[in-house]
């Protein structure tokens, strides 16, 4: 079984911790089909793909959706949904998730 680098990154992220933080920040309160986890995976994809636009992100996610099913993302967000989520979802959720991950010091 081939595991992509992208999937390996998400193996290091504690999904239960993310869900608790999403609940704390009420990130899924008004979501309609695009939960905080899908938004998070999409934004990480955006960073790794060095996308320059929302269209690039959404098209890239659409082309990789079959590979993302095991990460809990069943479909790629539409550009308008991603724009809405970026405007209305609290960014503090992602910051809290970043700082909640244990750092590996050598």
As separate numbers, helices (DSSP H) first and strands (DSSP E) second, the chain gives 6, 0
Q: What is the DSSP string of 38-60?
A: HHHHHHHHHHHHT-SSHHHHHHH
Each residue of 41-60: pLDDT tens digit?
A: 999 999 989 999 999 999 99
- Give the pLDDT confidence score for residue 31 in this predicted structure: 77
Q: Taking the model in full, what pTM does it have?
A: 0.87
Each residue of 1-44: pLDDT tens digit?
A: 566 888 888 988 999 999 999 999 999 987 777 899 999 999 99
Span 64-82, mean pLDDT? 86
At residue 106 the predicted structure's pLDDT band, cuts being 50, 70 and 90, is very low
Calculate the dihedral angle through the C-alpha atoms of 38, 41, 43, 49, rounding to the nearest 10 degrees.
Answer: -140
């Amino acid at each position: 079984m081939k595991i992509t680098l992208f999937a390996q990154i998400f193996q290091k992220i504690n999904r239960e911790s993310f869900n608790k933080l999403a609940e704390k920040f009420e990130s899924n309160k008004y979501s309609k089909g695009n939960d905080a986890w899908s938004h998070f995976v999409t934004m990480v994809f955006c960073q790794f793909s060095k996308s320059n636009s929302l269209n690039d992100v959404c098209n890239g996610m659409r082309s990789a959706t079959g590979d993302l099913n095991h990460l809990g993302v069943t479909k790629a967000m539409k550009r308008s949904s991603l724009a809405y989520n970026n405007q209305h979802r609290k960014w503090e959720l992602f910051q809290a998730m970043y700082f909640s991950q244990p750092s590996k010091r050598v």
